[in-house]
Amino acid sequence: MPRKRNAHRNADTPTLADVARLAGVSDITASRVVRNKGPIADATRAKVLAAIAELGYIPNRAAGSLASSGSTLMSVLLPSLSNIVFPDVLRGIHTALTETAFQPVIGVTDYDPVIEERILLSFLAWQPAAVILAGLHHTATARRHLEHGRFRVAELMDIDGDPVDIAVGMSHWQAGYDTGKHLVQRGYRRFGYAGHTIASDDRARARYDGLRAALKEAGLLLIAEERVQGGSSTLAGRHLLEAILRKAPGLDVVVFPNDDMAMGGIFHCMHAGITPKEQLGIFGFNGLDIGQALPLPLSTILSKRFLIGKTAAEKLLESRERPAEKTIINTGYDIIEGATA
Amino acid sequence: MPRKRNAHRNADTPTLADVARLAGVSDITASRVVRNKGPIADATRAKVLAAIAELGYIPNRAAGSLASSGSTLMSVLLPSLSNIVFPDVLRGIHTALTETAFQPVIGVTDYDPVIEERILLSFLAWQPAAVILAGLHHTATARRHLEHGRFRVAELMDIDGDPVDIAVGMSHWQAGYDTGKHLVQRGYRRFGYAGHTIASDDRARARYDGLRAALKEAGLLLIAEERVQGGSSTLAGRHLLEAILRKAPGLDVVVFPNDDMAMGGIFHCMHAGITPKEQLGIFGFNGLDIGQALPLPLSTILSKRFLIGKTAAEKLLESRERPAEKTIINTGYDIIEGATA
DNA sequence: CAGAATAATGATAGCGCTACCATAAATCAC
DNA sequence: GTGATTTATGGTAGCGCTATCATTATTCTG
């Protein structure tokens, strides 16, 4: 004996069939109204919309997704949320997705490609319309899935490499190089670097490499270098500057991998009575608002996080199919001269 | 004539049936292995896992979700991502969800209950296991859906009110009140307030009300009050302190709705040669790391954002069913005495 | 050692939606 | 005015999975 129909269904939740019945149309017509797809007579649309409102119908996206083998989810994999940079990117993505049917699903990788792979695979189970991740380095498995999947892919932040589909960002190596050239031109000669040890922060490393290349070109070297274990923070930057100056008192400029740490440097200067720029140049990266609100605005490079996120999401929405040609969008950066270097 | 079976399926993607066939078991047995549910002989499990690995099988969550009318998604609705507070909360949520099958889907409401409602409804289409939102005020429609839905609900940040299911946070009114008492006790008498105009930032308003209540109790008043249009920022805080001091030069303490703005106040003091604490008390809210890295650490209240997010998500995971009794978890706050008030 | 519980597996029928094809009516081209 | 297109609608068969019920082999209870 067949089990009673609808045995395990959600009795109180109206379905599209309920809407269709109430509106006096077929299921598929109701579906067309909901999805705003295909030709529908105005009168029919009105009837269906009224039925939807009356029943308080909420479409079941799982069913829709299954039937159409595609979803309105966009997977977003970010290295971190502690660093305001990535919330800024996410804000850009979210801005582009507002008013569309797409929703971001987010995962945090802790800068670890293995975690990135694990989260990616679990996200693919939802058949996302697109995947957004940071950087161009992924595990081999991740890369394989990204290449063969039926979804768009955007790799953010960095453009120094070969993207799967779309890359949106800037050249971090170039930014580091320009930092070096800029500071040399300003007359600084005795360089220090106060960084962190996040091995997978490829961007910070690329900037570091660029900086060294510029120094080499000018016949200079990094005289001193200190790194904190693990994540960067303002407090770490403050302690680090103190430490590096103790070891190498003759420095005339210290470069930090980001504004958070650089601001810690500024705070150390304030505390120790060092005049930034004149006695010691301080240079950051990111161009955070807060650094520009300081009594002496921080000298730094403005990365365009929000724009990167927004541009990427907009670009992904242009077509569901992956185009034959890869796209690389350089959002560039601005050197903020500031008052500290 | 019936259409060919599998006409619109994804030819290259292996399904559970493929796994089952390769492993020589039935579909449902393979499903049990994937979900780790029900009794399975070790040998059978091994066969199925081998088949999964060989095929590179990725489960289709849409199908699973549809069949079981429930998903592993957790909807997270945050007012903003610009304010580091909410990324911190999100980080806590994410930490609790790591190692579980749950994934956060995030939406940003811009502090607008109408946008919150819209996003909530679109999220419910995924039959989430739980919904996390900020605050206890929602539109009537949103509240109705939250109350009648088959999912857990956590309302974060605030506990002054009646939650749908779980509330995790602190009393912002009390925090404001304690701020007032603390500052009065420290000898401050001539109070100013430098805030913003986000009407729906209920928490900031509750703190403001608590502050005024404490002042009233001490026979005092807010002598001056300034607000910036729209969102808060460090730069806004800096300009605002300048403005308020111009209008009311006699103030001996200014309270800010958050650390971002309070730091702007500190920066104005530095610029204008005002000694914080002695000449002018500055008090914030949130207890951001950066405020504590300042040469003079900011006096403020430490809200426990990460803990709030983490606790809420953990609590939600305890049971899929909504318990009969509502839960209110007070994560409390700490007054950081700092050096600026 | 019979009867009862437990462990391990499978057959079947949907979950709620949309792709695909088909049909009928209205509009168009020339 | 006749064939060709366009507009509007519907019937049907899945999408890939899991809830339910059924079955058989195994272990337990007293």
| CATH number of residue B21's parent domain | 1.10.260.40
Strand C proximal to A129 Cβ, under 7 A: no
Say whether residue A84 is in contact with chain B using an 8 A CB cutoff. Answer: yes
SS3 assignment, position A282: strand
What pLDDT band is residue B1 in, cutting at 50, 70 and 90?
Answer: very low
User: Do residues B244 and B192 lie in contact, with contact meaning Cβ atoms separated by under 8 Å?
Assistant: yes
Residues B199 and B268 reside in one and the same domain: yes
Q: Sign of torsion, CA B113 B119 B125 B130?
A: negative
Instruction: Indicate if B310 and B161 belong to the same structural domain.
Output: yes
Length in residues, chain A: 341
- Which nucleotide has the least CA–C1' distance to A27? D10
Contact between A75 and A128 under an 8 Å Cβ cutoff? The reply is yes
The answer to whether the Cβ–Cβ distance between A263 and B293 falls below 8 Å is yes
| A181 found inside a domain | yes
For residue B201, the 8-state DSSP code is -
Which residue intervals of chain B are DSSP H helices?
A: 16-23, 27-35, 42-55, 61-68, 85-97, 113-124, 140-148, 172-185, 202-217, 234-247, 259-272, 289-293, 305-318
H or E segment to which residue A334 belongs: strand A333-336
Chains A & B: contacts with CB separation below 8 Å: 138
Amino acid A4: pLDDT: 47
CB interface of B with A, residues 202-261, below 8 Å: 233-235, 237-238, 260
Identity of the residue in B12, B66, B87 whose CB atom sits nearest the CB atom of A62: B66
Retrieve residue A44's tokens: 């029919």
- What mean pLDDT do residues B100-125 have? 92
B7 touches strand C (CB under 7 A): yes
**Identity of residue A39:** P
| Average pLDDT of the residues in B3-19 | 73
- Indicate the range of A9-13, A260-264, A330-334 predicted with least confidence: A9-13
Single-letter code of the amino acid located at B15: T
CA-CA distance, A243 to A36, in Å (whole number)? Answer: 63
Q: Is residue B270 part of a domain?
A: yes
CA angle A47, A53, A54 (to 5 degrees): 90
- A4, part of any domain: no
- Show which of A27, A59, A91 is a domain's final residue: A59
Assign A81 a pLDDT band (cuts: 50, 70, 90). Answer: confident
Distance, Å, A23 CA → D8 C1' = 16
Judgement on whether residues A245 and A192 belong to the same structural domain of the protein: yes
Q: In whole angstroms, give the CA distance from residue A301 to residue A287.
A: 6
Q: How confident is the model at residue B4 (pLDDT cuts 50, 70, 90)?
A: very low
Q: Tell the residue number behind the tokens 């797409």, with chain if given.
A: A102
Predicted confidence band of residue A8 (pLDDT cuts 50, 70, 90): low
Is A263 close to B290, i.e. CB distance below 8 A?
Answer: yes
Say whether both B162 and B82 belong to one domain: yes
Q: How far, in Å, CA of B133 to CA of B151, rounded?
A: 13
Do strands A73-78 and A130-134 pair parallel, antiparallel, or not at all (unpaired)? parallel
Pairwise CA distance, residues B320 & B153, whole Å: 10
Q: Does residue B165 sit in the same domain as residue B309?
A: yes
The CATH number assigned to the domain holding A280 equals 3.40.50.2300
B66 touches strand C (CB under 7 A): yes
Rg (CA), chain A: 26
CB contact under 8 A, B264 and A293: yes
Burial class (CB in 10 A: 0-12, 13-18, 19+), A152: buried
- Residue B283, in any domain of the structure: yes
Report how far apart, in Å, the C-alpha atoms of A43 and of each of A33, A61, A243, B302 are: 11, 26, 75, 57
pLDDT on residue B82:
83
Beta bridge partners of B299: B283
Query: What number is the average pLDDT over the span A93-108?
Result: 91
The pLDDT, as a whole number, for residue A198 is 72
Please state the rounded mean pLDDT for residues A134-156: 95
Q: Are residues B202 and B298 in the same domain?
A: yes
Confidence of residue B154 (pLDDT cuts 50, 70, 90): very high
Taking the CA of residue A40 and the C1' sugar atom of nucleotide D2, their distance in angstroms comes to 28
| A173 pLDDT higher than 60 | yes
**By residue range, what is the domain housing residue A201?**
172-303
pLDDT band for A2, please (50, 70, 90 cuts): very low
Q: Of A64, A77, A74, A72, which Cα lies nearest the Cα of A30?
A: A64
Among chain A residues 18-47, those with CB within 7 Å of any atom of strand D: 24-29, 32, 38-41, 43-44
Closest nucleotide C1' to the C-alpha of A67: D15
> What is the percentage of chain B residues whose pLDDT exceeds 70?
97
Q: What percent of chain A has pLDDT over 70?
A: 97
Asked, for residue B127, whether it belongs to a domain, the answer is: yes
Q: Which nucleotides of D are covered by protein (CB under 7 A)?
A: 7-21
Report chain B's mean pLDDT, rounded to a whole number: 93
Q: Which of A302, A273, A291, A280 is nearest to A192 (CA)?
A: A280
A104: which chain B residues are within 8 Å (Cβ-Cβ)? 105-106
pLDDT digit string, tens, across residues B232-281: 889 999 999 999 999 999 999 999 999 999 999 999 999 999 999 999 99
Q: For residue A341, is it within any domain?
A: no
Per the CB < 8 A criterion, the answer to whether B289 and A233 are in contact is yes
Residue A168 bridge partners (DSSP): A156, A329
Residues A329 and A315 in one domain: yes
What is the model's pLDDT at position A10?
A: 66
Same domain, A206 and A263: yes
Reported as a single tens digit per residue, the pLDDT across A217-243 is: 999 999 999 999 877 889 999 999 999
A233/B293 touch (CB, cutoff 8 Å), yes or no: yes
> Which carries the bigger pLDDT value, residue A61 or residue B82?
A61
Q: Among candidates A305, A300, A298, A297, which has minimal Cα distance to A332?
A: A305
Beta-carbon contacts of B270 under 8 Å, excluding residues fewer than 6 positions away, are A270, A295
What is d(CA B198, CA B234) in angstroms, rounded to the nearest whole number?
A: 16
| Strands in chain A per DSSP E | 73-78, 103-108, 130-134, 152-158, 166-170, 191-196, 222-228, 253-255, 281-283, 300-303, 327-330, 333-336
Which residue of chain B is at minimal alpha-carbon distance from A127? Answer: B60
**Pairing mode of beta strands A327-330, A253-255:** unpaired
Instruction: Using the Cα atoms of residue A35, residue A41, residue A46 and residue A52 in order, give the sign of their dihedral.
Output: negative
Shared domain for B137 and B156, answered yes or no, is yes
B101 and B34 fall within a common domain = no
pLDDT over 50 at B155, yes or no: yes
For B127, which of A60, A86, A290 is closest by C-beta distance? A60
- How far is it, in rounded angstroms, from Cα A9 to Cα A28? 20
In a domain, B6, yes or no: no
From residue B341, give the alpha-carbon distance in Å to each of A278, B4, B174, B288, B332.
Answer: 31, 77, 19, 16, 21
Residue A38 (CA) to nucleotide D8 (C1'), in angstroms, measures 9
In a domain, B7, yes or no: no
Q: Check residues 260 to 279 of chain B and report those whose beta carbon is under 7 Å from nucleic acid strand D.
A: none
Q: Are B232 and B126 found together in one domain?
A: no
Mutate to test the interface with A, among B6, B8, B81, B260 (most CBs of A within 10 A): B81
State the pLDDT confidence band at B10, using cuts at 50, 70 and 90: low
* Chain A nearest CA to B177, separation (Å): 28
B190-216 exposure pattern, b = at least 16 Cβ within 10 A, e = fewer: bbbbbbbebebbbbbbbbbebbbbbbe
B25 sits within 7 Å of strand C by its CB: yes
Question: Could you give the number of structural domains in chain A?
Answer: 3
Residue at shortest CA–C1' distance from C22? B1
pLDDT for A147 beyond 80 = yes
Tell me, yes or no, whether B192 and B161 share the same domain.
Answer: no
Q: Do A127 and B271 touch (CB under 8 A)?
A: no
The confidence score (pLDDT) of residue A3 equals 43
Closest CA–CA distance from residue B91 to any residue of chain A (Å):
6
**Cβ-nearest to B106 among A106, A121, A270:** A106
Query: Residue B200 above 80 pLDDT?
Result: no
pLDDT in tens, B84-93: 899 999 999 9
Q: Percent of chain A, pLDDT > 90?
A: 85
What are the chain B neighbours of A125 within 8 Å (beta carbons)? Answer: 58-61
